[in-house]
Amino acid sequence: MEGERGVEKKLSAEDEATKERWAKEQEELSKNLIKEDKLDFEFPKDLKLIAGVDISFVKNDEINACAAIIVLTYPEFKVVYEDFEMVQLTEPYIPSFLAFREVPHVAPLINKLKRNHPEFVPQIILVDGNGYLHPRGFGFACHLGVEIDIPTIGIGKNFYMMDGLTTKEVRTLFADNCKKGGDWVPITGKSNNVWGAAFRSHDDSTKPIFVSIGHRISLETAVNITKACCEYRVPEPVRQADLRSRDFIRKNWKK
């Protein structure tokens, strides 16, 4: 899974109608978004279970994919639960509406976990995709968090132009302010709204990751939790979800 792409393409009349319908649904869902800490634990001392979710696509295929949830202990990052499902993403790809393609395949894995193994339900989920860092402030991590009512954090690997900010400007902001691992800088748009943070995972990382509020968490807490999960550039829960979902495809996909 990756963040919202910034390149618009001409949509068919059918996709335009879908976009209009999704925009209304997104607006309604966003009314339930909580952008402050509403956690059932105190970080770091009470955090025990943390998860990563991802959707990995079959190579050269925009339809067939693997949805994954990986639950790890904190702070050991030992995998205690994993689940995968080969899925087909048949909804159209419309920029800034990624969640409508992918949440319907990720949310059932989480609901299945709640039903069958409540002892492994995570206290927070890191999502491979943006949250509040989104043209309308309601990306994949927000949508998922509101749907499942679990705190979420958005983790993006790329920045796409929004609120008057260019990719080049944000990269320069990161380079000027983030000199060592753990450094971060708020991403403030031309509207003066803070959308998220550009974060340096470790000393040797020269590329930022983009952290944003998902649901029921503040930006500061989201960054602090992300920081505690970064041995590599990508925080461990998301990294494991990506690696294991790709491995599942290799072992199980048959044309």
Mean pLDDT of 228-242: 97
| Per-residue confidence (pLDDT) for residue 10, from 0 to 100 | 82
The CA distance from 252 to 167, in Å, is 37
Q: What is the pLDDT of residues 202-224, one digit of tens each?
A: 999 999 999 999 999 999 999 99
Alpha carbon 202 to chain centroid, angstroms: 20
Q: What is the pLDDT of residues 132-190, one digit of tens each?
A: 999 999 999 999 999 999 999 999 999 989 999 999 999 999 999 999 999 999 999 99
The CA distance from 1 to 65, in Å, is 10
Mean pLDDT of the chain: 95
Q: Are 136 and 26 in contact (CB under 8 A)?
A: yes
Q: Are 25 and 102 in contact (CB under 8 A)?
A: no
Question: What pTM did the predictor assign?
Answer: 0.95
Q: Are 102 and 183 in contact (CB under 8 A)?
A: no
